[in-house]
Amino acid sequence: MNLLDILSYEFVQRAMVAGMLIAAVSALLGLFLVLRRFSLIGDGLAHTTFGSVAVVLLIGISPLYVTLAALPLVMASSLAIYKLTSSRKINADSAIGIISSLGIASGIILASLSGGFNVDLFSYLFGNILTVNNTELLLSFIVFLIVVVVVFYFYDDLFAVTFDQELAQSMGIKTRRINVILFLLTAIAAVLAMKVAGIMLVSALLILPALTALQLAVSFRTTMIAAVVFSIVAVVCGIIFAFLLNLPAGAMIVLFNICFLFLVFVAKKLSHLRR
Amino acid sequence: MPIIRVDDLTFRYNGLDVISNITFSVEKGTYLGIVGPNGSGKSTLIKCILGILQPEQGRVELFGKPLDRFRHWAKIGYLPQRLNALNTHFPGTVEEIVQMGLPKKDAATLRRTLETMAIGHLASRLIGELSYGEQQRAMLARALMRRPQLLIFDEPTTALDPETREIFYALTKTLNHREGTTIILITHDIGIIGQYAQNLLYLDKKVIFSGTFKDFCSSGDMTGLFGPKSQHIICHQHDQSGACG
């Protein structure tokens, strides 16, 4: 089977488009999160997504709308992480840990109580981009547009807040508003990324492209563009190879992201040695 | 109309007063030095004035407007004591950081400001690759770039070499004298305050002294606090520098 044959399938086309959109969103937000030492927020929100999906399945919402229905709870969890972190008494990693354990514990208890949807719930742990439906494709497109517009419109503010929050405040930037926007968008990205990589690997989509791009950084803008490019290429390669080798797409995408990071890291080391 | 008016300001952390009942004002064109021992609340006071920290009580006015209604932040340039644990992986270049928050990017002003701080050759370097002294110079350039009416420097020269330190203080003096820029300088180095500032605010959780250097030099209370010798040296440096405005 050649590449054109693979791309002729409608579900593959849908997976490619949704995957690329989610990859771009995750990479854009991931750079700000990594630089602000919120790398593990993806993990925390993914675990919350697990609990939220359990709630949604328990209520009996159609699997077609699970992603959409899980959003409010995950967004609330994201704001809870922000609120805990802002209290100055709880570090970012601890705040993520609290919300993360709450999410996973609620999911397990709800799954155990219901007794009926364990299989459905646990299928979200590993995700499957090839099963992306039209609602999720549309949601990915809308979120992509929102994130691009927000990053473009608030670029200066995001840059300043990421560099130094107190300095940004002294410049009159409404840092609270910027933080709330960033955390809400991250929650949406985490729910969408669950479809691509599964709950277990959501944080990889947020962290790895940003880390790879940071190895090659020459300016903030180029780093942002590089992160998006690495992320999209990893999704495209991951989906194609997953299809060809009959392996899980989410894991393949993450492996490609890790390969890119490793290659860039080695290339950078070699170029330093040659100097 | 004072540029800054602080009235009965108190900030507590974990139930303890960091600063209490601070009242003072800063007139346009003043060069004010804020001094005090470690933990005396100097940086906290500035952060409350800039709205970074929320005080328990009191009132702050900037350029005649209550802090919550103040919008003209471009009038203020601020250099924090230490960047909050600057992330050395931050991929911003010196150029990007110095122009941060500017509505219009002006290449000529950028070049001139970078040259003034002797970092013109570092414009395209990543901030995280620079030494702490170079980073500090970049941050000074950023504060100066907006040509603000009020400049607030919190321990600005701790990482600078003596030559750049001199250039920096000379620049603040020029801005204050020629352009009428109001300057607030927080430092441990009271000798520097003596050389450049006209007014002095001595803080130790509350205001110990607030007034002109002339008042400071003739104050018996300050002789008791600093000792006659130190007070004499400080006042002598002040007289020699001609910082009386």
Contact A35 B90 (CB under 8 A): yes
Please provide the average confidence, as pLDDT, over all residues in chain A.
Answer: 89
Q: Tens digit of pLDDT for each residue in B200-234?
A: 999 999 998 898 887 888 777 777 777 766 666 66
Mutation target for B interface from A154, A162, A167, A218: give the one with most B CBs within 10 A: A167
Has the ipTM of the complex gone over 0.85?
Answer: no
Q: Tens digit of pLDDT for each residue in A198-248?
A: 887 888 999 999 999 999 999 999 999 999 999 999 999 999 999 889 898
Q: Which residue of A has its CA nearest to B95?
A: A219
DSSP states along chain A: --HHHHHHSHHHHHHHHHHHHHHHHHHHHHHHHHHTT-TTHHHHHHHHHHHHHHHHHHHT--GGGHHHHHHHHHHHHHHHHHHHHHTSSS-HHHHHHHHHHHHHHHHHHHHHHH-S-HHHHHHHHH--GGG--HHHHHHHHHHHHHHHHHHHHTHHHHHHHHH-HHHHHHTT--HHHHHHHHHHHHHHHHHHHHHHH-GGGHHHHHHHHHHHHHHT-SSHHHHHHHHHHHHHHHHHHHHHHHHHHT--HHHHHHHHHHHHHHHHHHHHHHHHHH-
Sketch the domain layout of chain A as residue ranges: 3-268
Q: Tens digit of pLDDT for each residue in B133-143?
A: 888 889 889 98
Domain extent for B101: 4-241
pLDDT for residue B245 = 44
Q: Tens digit of pLDDT for each residue in B100-149?
A: 988 788 889 999 999 988 899 999 999 999 988 888 889 889 988 888 99
For the cut 80, the answer to whether the pLDDT of residue B159 exceeds it is no
For the cut 60, the answer to whether the pLDDT of residue B170 exceeds it is yes
Contact B78 A217 (CB under 8 A): no
pLDDT for residue A200 = 76
Q: Which residue of A has its CA nearest to B46?
A: A170
**Between A185 and A114, the higher pLDDT residue:** A185
Return the minimum-mean-pLDDT range out of A124-128, A242-246, B67-71: A124-128
A163, A166, A219 member nearest B52 (Cβ): A166
For the cut 90, the answer to whether the pLDDT of residue A187 exceeds it is yes
Q: How confident is the model over B159-185, as a mean pLDDT?
A: 86
For the cut 50, the answer to whether the pLDDT of residue A101 exceeds it is yes
| CATH assignment at residue B225 | 3.40.50.300
Domain total of chain B = 1
**To which CATH superfamily is domain A3-268 assigned?**
ABC transporter involved in vitamin B12 uptake, BtuC (1.10.3470.10)
Burial class, A236, CB count within 10 angstroms (exposed 0-12 / middle 13-18 / buried 19+): middle
A169 contact residues in B (CB cutoff 8 A) = 50-52
For the cut 60, the answer to whether the pLDDT of residue B243 exceeds it is no
B15 contact residues in A (CB cutoff 8 A) = none
pLDDT for residue A147 = 95
